[in-house]
Amino acid sequence: MIEQLEKLVHTFGPTGQEQAVAELIRTEIAPFVDEIRQDPLGNLIAVKKGKPGGKKIMLAAHMDEIGLVVSHIDENGFCRVRPVGYVLTATLVGSRVRFANGTIGVFGAEDEDKALWKPTGKLPAWDKWYLDVGAENKAAAPVQVGDMAAFYPFFHQQGNRLIAQSMDDRSGCAVLLAVAKQLSAPANDVYFVFTVQEEIGTKGAVAATYDVHPDMGIAVDVTFSADTPKAAPMAVVLGQGAAIKVMDGGMIAHYGLRQALVETAEAAGIPYQMEVLPGGTTDARSIQLSREGVPAGAISIPSRYMHSKAEMVDLRDMIACANLLTRFVTESA
């Protein structure tokens, strides 16, 4: 799983440009499934057939990561950008980004009153930030308006802690790949759906759910942890197992499905914790609201520093998520 995750976080894939991630996942999952297809929106759907009469279970993890799009290039070659997804301006100073063509950009900001250098200074608004791509003038700029960038990739393991810029949600993709590799004869048809455009409103999951028409759906994504100094109270911490979602800012998990996941975890001795997330949501919201409605829930990977350039998860939690999903789709009637 560690090797798989490292490949995923190094692959370029901001929202709207997930194709390279999809190609990597297709290669990795192909030996373990019966069918693979990609829909017109870009969602990758891999199917593992189960026993006759079983249910159709959709497992979803999103391939995209937060990014930026070039909106203007001035005469001196500096780029103005807009966020694609929720990008924290507090993390931008000196941050590097990477474009699909390999160009590296470095963030700077208009700072006439030197606010960035004052302990109590206010962060500039988005229209004050710029991206320096090393160009001497507009004609020499190696990127164009409309080009997208993702934050510069890295991966580091420190004990059980794994750190990278796009654990949201490449860690979820790695969990689904681990499930696919562990399945032999599931009781149900399992649809591994790697979605696009989650970071701008869980859009890919809408199209994918209409395509699959599942009997139930489970999203796998990251969630906030509450184990850092003076963190907001929340019953989720790193290293304590899979977080079974009760609700978040966009949905309430289906009660029966939630309880079935709890019972599966307890019967198998898989560590778990319960997640009540005040804000944000996952692909489970779109799954739940598709067609006539789908019983949906989520299993979350606790994460620190979400949407920063160094998100941290725990390998033990990822393993717990993979084991719980494997057990559930294998045995669930």
Q: H or E stretch including 130?
A: strand 129-132
Q: Which residues contact 293 (CB under 8 A, 6 or more apart)?
A: none
CA nearest to 224, candidates 265, 164, 275, 165: 275
**Which one is catalytic: 198, 199, 275, 311?**
198
| CA distances (Å), origin 299, targets 66, 222, 273, 333 | 21, 8, 10, 19
CB 167 within 8 Å of CB 304: no
Residue 198 annotated among the catalytic residues of the structure = yes
Give the Cβ contact number of residue 89 at 10 Å: 15
CB 110 within 8 Å of CB 130: yes
Dist. CA 306–CA 248, nearest whole Å: 15
Active-site residues: which are they? 198
